[in-house]
Amino acid sequence: MPELPEVETVMRGLMPYMVGQQITHVAQNRPNLRVPFPPGLTDKLVDQKILSLNRRGKYFMLNLGNNYSVIVHLGMSGSFKIYTDNMLFVPQKHDHFILTLASKTRVVFNDPRRFGMVLYHPSKDLDRHKAFINMGVEPLDLEFNGVYLHRSFQSTSSPIKTALLDQRIVAGLGNIYVCEALYLSGINPKTKAHKVSLKRCHILVNAIKAVLIKAIEAGGSSLKDHRQADGQLGYFQHQFSVYGKQGKACPDCDCEIERTHGIKRIIQAGRSTFYCPRKQR
């Protein structure tokens, strides 16, 4: 499930192949993902130069010479694969969108579940696109701090787990890194967000930044491996403390010794939450 670190890793992996390149050919292998591709997208992209790439939340943008941007979301199962000119291009099932560049490199978007998105919007107006207009701060920016988070939490009665998934408060967190950051902070995911103290918000902010930075660093190293292997840029497996670890011992406390059965799995707002009831209070 691509969250901010995975999106950042994919974008960084694409940059050396795409920045400064002209798009020479576009293939759309179906009319839509979950939403239709923008009308006439192929014609709008052909001959355009890719000036830069940048990320916002779980989206990243290809900024083009015509002052428009292609906005990409990886959804649940989206990934990119690079085929340089010397590589045999074997089309795969669910290859939905393929850009060919002047260098003859192919950039292939593959997404089995089709929860991904490809959008198109004027570059200067991206902040007003509906994907971004209500989006909260970047978690790795300085303005994401304990005071900001504490203030944001005052307007909601949701549990803190649910509030952290709300992209209007902070952008780019998904189920995995929210569970991991709450675990690292020692905060119970069921706690009402508006009842979390400023001090704990400060601790939580530091935990969020730490888990994201660690994951991006892990992505950077996995990226090198992938690049050597087959050019696949997508979701990669990290070492998690609680996510998917229900029934396992908590690495940080003696909950198993006390027979509280280690990591628990509960459902909040229809999503799985993993936590240690002893460490997280």
Partner DNA sequence: CTCCTGTCCTGCCGGC
Partner DNA sequence: TGCCGGCAGGACAGGA
- Active site positions, annotated: 2-3, 58, 271
Smallest separation (angstroms) from DNA to the CB of 158: 5
Count residues binding DNA (CB under 7 A). 32
Among residues 5, 13, 75, 219, the one that binds DNA under rule CB under 7 A: 75
Q: Closer to DNA by CB, 65 or 247: give it.
A: 247
Question: CA 194 to CA 197: how far, in whole Å?
Answer: 8
Q: Which stretch binds DNA (CB under 7 A): 42-50, 74-82, 224-232, 253-261?
A: 74-82
Judge contact between 48 and 65, C-beta under 8 A: yes
Would you say 21 or 121 has its CB closer to DNA? 121
Q: How far, in Å, CA of 22 to CA of 259, rounded?
A: 61
Binding part of the chain for DNA, among 42-50, 95-103, 143-151, 266-274 by CB under 7 A, reads 266-274
- Which region, judged by CB under 7 A, interacts with DNA, from 11-19, 70-78, 80-88, 120-128? 70-78
272 is a contact residue toward DNA (CB under 7 A): yes
In whole angstroms, give the CA distance from residue 61 to residue 148.
Answer: 26
Distance CA 23, CA 63 (A): 12
Q: Which of 27, 131, 216, 253 binds DNA (CB under 7 A)?
A: 131
Which residues in 215-254 contact DNA (CB under 7 A)?
none
Beta bridge partners of 264: 275
Of residues 29, 67, 84, 155, which one binds DNA by CB under 7 A? 155
Nearest to 170 by CA among 209, 127, 223: 209
User: Looking only at residues 17 through 46 of this chain, which bind DNA when binding is defined by CB under 7 A?
Assistant: 34
Binding flags for DNA, 160-189, as an x/- string (CB under 7 A): --x--x-x------xxx-------------
Q: Which residues contact 35 (CB under 8 A, 6 or more apart)?
A: 117
- In the bound state with DNA, the residue whose beta carbon lies nearer, of 39 and 43, is 39
Among 132, 136, 206, which Cα is nearest to 170's?
136
C-alpha pair distances (Å), 39 with each of 24, 43, 60: 19, 9, 20
d(CA 24, CA 142): 39
CA distances from 45 to 32, 85, 121 (A): 17, 20, 12
Min dist. Cβ of residue 47 to DNA (A): 29
Footprint on this chain of DNA (rule: CB under 7 A): 1, 3, 34, 57-59, 73, 75-77, 93-94, 112-115, 130-131, 155-158, 162, 165, 167, 174-176, 269-272
